[in-house]
Amino acid sequence: MSPASHRDESPDRLYTLTGGRTRSAPDAPFDLVTLVVAESDPAPGMQSEHAAILRLCRRPTAVVEVAAELALPVGIVRILLADLLGTGRISARHPRTSGPAGPSGSYSLPDPDILEQVLVGLRNL
């Protein structure tokens, strides 16, 4: 059994992690493929999940990867990321795929539903 599978995903724990919030700010730019980069190191006394995110995101990391590594629901991770973005501890940008351009000449992004399925599959491993 992996260490991540020992995580307590009870509603009480998730409520505590987010301070009772159920959604990130409406202007938060986080979808599954948004790349997150830490702009600072973890600070003493910081919530452990915030510190873990900063360590994970030393290099650009997709939101879905952060959720998988922390073994937390994507919605909870979005709230935590919004906290860090609000304090300037991370930056976020939407990636462009490096694949061929679509019919309109613009780049196409991966289907969020497929990425969600990949996340579920990773959690089931």
Q: Provide mean pLDDT across the span 10-22.
A: 63
The enclosing H or E element of 84 equals helix 74-86
Read off the pLDDT of each residue in 13-37 and give the average, rounded to a whole number.
72
The rounded mean pLDDT for the chain is 78
* Residue, of 70 and 107, whose pLDDT is higher: 70
Binned at pLDDT 50, 70 and 90, residue 40 comes out as very high
Mean pLDDT in residue range 72-101: 82
* pLDDT value for 110: 67
Coil, helix or strand for 113?
helix
Closest to 79 (Cα-Cα) out of 38, 21, 37: 21
- Three-class SS state of 90: strand
pLDDT value for 2: 41
Asked if residue 76 lies in contact with residue 19, where contact means CB atoms within 8 angstroms, the answer is no
Tell me the C-alpha to C-alpha distance, in Å, between residue 101 and each of 31, 34, 67, 98, 114. Answer: 21, 19, 29, 9, 19
What is the model's pLDDT at position 108?
A: 58
What is d(CA 75, CA 22) in angstroms, rounded to the nearest whole number?
8
pLDDT digits (tens, 9 = 90+) for 102-117: 444 455 566 777 888 8
pLDDT of residue 16: 67
Share of the chain above pLDDT 90, in %: 42
